[in-house]
Amino acid sequence: MDDSKLTELRARMVRQQIEERGIRDEAVLRAMRIVPRHLFVPERYQHRAYDDGPLPILARQTISQPYVVALMIAQLMLSPDDRVLEVGTGSGYAAAVLSRMVAQVYTIERHEKLVTYAQARFERLGYDNIQVRHGDGTEGWPDHAPYDGIVVAAGGPSIPDPLRQQLAVGGRLVIPVGRKQRQQWLVRLTRLGLNQFEAERLSPVAFVPLIGAAGWSQEED
């Protein structure tokens, strides 16, 4: 498929799947028109990269539905000078979108093969304001805290305390939370002060489980 056709498919994806569902953040829309989502999915699924749904990637993980990526990022209400932490790099698509919107993106992934996969795509595209680390995302990345925004691309039983503490005052954290591993509510947490937080439930979602010291101990079969 040639570049002009792919550009047309991206524009249609943004218009029909994102704008028509009410997302108006122009920075999000612009970034999603730019980032080539087809490069972040396995080759056998590239013809479906701009469809309205998630797709399988390496390590039994998924790349989220484009609308869900847009919704979560829009809820962070970001500015160009912001620094963002992402938990759950996956194939790297959401981090790539974020990198077109903010000054710096830090992203953590527990599957080493996905770290390698995502890093190769960032380098290919010249997205040099993304740092990737292999590790437990529930513990955050304290070396670079505080963050203006934190987005978690996996569902936990609660909001990990290390992530709360690494959020800047005035910053926002978006995470799926639920008592069942694959049934969650999307929650936005805003830090109002040193020990003051406000949580809002946004919409029901279904994400892969957040595995780690401050998440689920293991994935159910």
* pLDDT digit string, tens, across residues 92-151: 999 999 999 999 999 999 999 999 999 999 999 999 999 999 999 999 999 999 999 999
pLDDT number for residue 221: 62
Dmax (CA) of the chain: 52
Residue 44 tokens, joined: 């056998």
Instruction: Report if residue 211 sits inside a domain.
Output: no
Q: What is the mean pLDDT of residues 216-220?
A: 84
203 assigned to active site: no
Confidence class for position 213, pLDDT limits 50, 70, 90: very high
Angle formed at CA 181 by CA 177 and CA 183, multiple of 5 degrees: 65
Residue 194: CATH number of its domain: 3.40.50.150
Give the length of the chain: 221
Is 138 a member of any domain? Answer: yes
Q: Which domain holds residue 109?
A: 3-205
- Do the domain assignments include residue 16? yes
- According to the model, what pLDDT value does residue 197 have? 98
Set 4, 64, 79, 203: catalytic member: 64
Total number of domains in the chain: 1
Q: Which candidate, 66, 43, 74, 58, places its Cα nearest to that of 117?
A: 58
Position 129 in a domain: yes
Residue 133 placed within a domain:
yes
Write down the pLDDT at residue 37: 97
Q: For residue 214, is it within any domain?
A: no
Nearest C-alpha neighbor of 66 from the set 84, 86, 93, 39: 93
Sign of CA dihedral 210, 216, 219, 220: negative
Higher pLDDT, 206 or 106: 106
- Angstrom CA distances, 57 to 145, 194, 213, 216, stand at 29, 38, 24, 21
Asked whether residue 212 is domain-assigned, the answer is: no
